[in-house]
Amino acid sequence: MKRLVFDPARCSLCGACLAACSAVKKGRIDLVQSRIRIETAGSRKPLRAAVCAHCEEPACVTACMRGIIDKGADGLVTRRWEECFRCAACLVSCPVGAVLEDTDRKAFIACDLCGKAESGEDPLCVRVCLSGALRFEEETAASADLRSSYALQMFAEQPAAPTDPTDGQWEEIARMIAEECGSPVTVKELKSAQEQLRRDAEEGM
């Protein structure tokens, strides 16, 4: 099964993936409700992405006090979120910090790969990541890539600093999000989300 893989060295913290996620799942751009989160530590330097890894032996499945999280034969971790009573055990047990509270649904949720697990097509968050920091890859390819990126960090020159999307790229990102959600999204909204994300990063949220 393909998983979301994140390479912090290529991420400029543009916030397009978070904006896309909340637009798809919530119908609005709302960074706090994004199911992918880029972890930082008091600066704009991204450390890792917190997003459901659809673990082999998911801790959330056994922690769930309602028994509503399942690991399917297809590898996908799914939630019958309508039944969630918000005990928060999944959030606390998740080894990658991928669980968040959906404040509208009043339920704890996590990335469901937007139903792309079977087809293997890139979900919107990956398509709007034009720098290639966020990718949708088979696990074997992903781990090989992580190893090489680790080796790169250890022994080679650092890759060039990641750059923000150009104006033309912002337009393209806005178009992709609008197309998927069926409602208009402006570059201005995306850029203000980016500013918010960077402020939060610097304040160390």
Partner 1 sequence: MKRKTDILVLGNGAAGSSAAFAAKKADPSLSVLVLSKENEPVYSAPALPDLLSGELTREKVLVRTWEEYEQDGIEVLCAEAAAIDPGTRTVTLADGDEIAYRDLILAAGSQPIQLRKMQGTSLPGNFVMKTMADIEAIASYSGKSAVVVGSGAIGIEGSMALKARGFERVTMVEALDWLSPKSLDKETSDQLKKALESFGVEVLTGEAVQAVLGEKKAEGVVTSKRTIPCDLVLWGIGMRPDVQLAMEAGIALGETGGILVDEFMRTSDPHIYACGDCAQSTDLLTGQPALHLFWEPAQRGGFAAGANAAGQEKIFQPSAAVFLTNKGGLSILALGKTEEQLAEDPYVLQEEKDGVFRRLLFEDGRLAGVQMLGTLQDADLFFAHIRKNAQRRKDAWDLTQPVPDLERVSVKEAIWYLRKQRRNAFVK
Residue ranges in contact with partner 1 by CB under 8 A: 8, 39-42, 47-48, 50, 62-67, 83, 85-89, 91-97, 204
Which of residues 36 and 190 has its CB atom nearest to partner 1 in the complex?
36
112 phi and psi, to 5 degrees? Answer: -110, 15
**In whole angstroms, how close is the CB of 52 to partner 1 at the nearest point?**
12
**In whole angstroms, how close is the CB of 154 to partner 1 at the nearest point?**
11
How far apart, in whole angstroms, are the C-alpha atoms of residue 184 and residue 196? 20
Which tokens in the block code for residue 54?
């659809």
Which of residues 14 and 90 has its CB atom nearest to partner 1 in the complex?
90
CA nearest 63: which of 84, 88, 85, 82? 88
**In whole angstroms, how close is the CB of 180 to partner 1 at the nearest point?**
29
Which of residues 75 and 97 has its CB atom nearest to partner 1 in the complex?
97
**In whole angstroms, how close is the CB of 66 to partner 1 at the nearest point?**
5
**In whole angstroms, how close is the CB of 42 to partner 1 at the nearest point?**
5
**In whole angstroms, how close is the CB of 167 to partner 1 at the nearest point?**
32
- As a dihedral over the C-alpha atoms of residue 41, residue 46, residue 50, residue 51, rounded to 10 degrees, the angle is 160
Which of residues 162 and 180 has its CB atom nearest to partner 1 in the complex?
162
Which of residues 87 and 151 has its CB atom nearest to partner 1 in the complex?
87
Which of residues 24 and 88 has its CB atom nearest to partner 1 in the complex?
88
| Under 8 Å between Cβ of 169 and 130 | yes
